[in-house]
A and B are shown apart, each in its own frame.
Chain A
Amino acid sequence: MLLTYIVKRIIWTIPFLFAVSLVSFALIQAPPGDYLTTFAATLAQSGDMVDEQRLEALRTRYGLDQPFIVQYWKWISGVLQGDFGISFEWQQPVSHLIWERMALSVCLALSTLLFTWAIAFPIGIYSAVRKYSIGDYIVTTIGFLGLALPNFLLALVLMYVGVVYFGANVGGLFSQEYQMAPWSWAKVVDLLEHIWIPVVILGTSSSAALIRIMRANLLDELNKPYVTTARAKGLSEFKLLIKYPVRLALNPFVSTIGWAFPQLISGAVITAFVLSLPTAGPLLLQALLAQDMYLAGAFILLLCTLTVVGMLVSDILLALLDPRIRYQ
């Protein structure tokens, strides 16, 4: 039953990804002009001039003067063979540019997810069990603040405080000496020393949201007769809590995997931009702004694949965790 479901889901992802690739390519092309008009406009903004003849020559070389469908076919047929094309801006194969950044993005997203769970799980339980206590109010206030503050604003404020009061730079994921160094234990430690700042910044709002969800779900369960029964039979309070109501309240945690992944990667774009993190976000944003189609297209396609995979994983986990869920 479950197996057929999984196979069916995987087969369905193929036309879905195809549609996504078409739509995202169309969206990248939708703004007026192309990479080269944007290029000329950006340079003009800094007072630089561009050789018009060179631009025209490049437009022909890049095939930007061809119709949409031809450009799309050129791109997608390459992708099917594992060739993501050349980034116009950097004159490098797209695959060279994205892998390390995607890896760091995934690492950041995973850390943030773990952080979110580590914070939200105990606090959510506490604030449900000790409803309307001082502790609950404090946590709730902090939670609402976390929900209300946009991540990038928090990042900017932290950076400003860091510069003005501590003279420290909070941006980046590595210290200067490790930025270009090959991977080593020391570099991993250095990464850990830096990664907590973006993790905290990115994690606040989703933690706050999860705390609220956990609290609400648990409150629903705590008043149910089976809890009273278990308590009457003398089950210890802790065992009772963890084994029954919490397990039921866990569903939203598992569902988060599906959307948290792509959301953490794309939603972190502005924060990563502000903090100058070497993750996928800033490069994606630049590629979109510069209309560097193949680079942007590859990112969007990868993000969509991640979303699809994340959804699938969370659905399977939910099914394993909660036997009440059935498949058609």
Chain B
Amino acid sequence: MTTEIINGLTTFITTQIIKRPDKELALDTPLISGGLIDSFSLVDLALFIEDTFGVQVDDTELNAETFDTLSELVNLIKSRQS
């Protein structure tokens, strides 16, 4: 399950947001504070998460405080799925 989420998120971020399918994302890469994802693209990430994993992520949660890395994001999704 976790692997599926990681793969889904990685594919979405590398192909749709940073548009570099050749890139690999480490679980601890800072996505927001590291300058990979900006506020405009965070909305797309939230929409993708809602559609794909069936959990709600509100706009007000889209910031580095709620999650900044892939592993934090996976934990957020998993905690809402259960």
A and B pair up: no
Binding site for B on A (CB under 8 A): none
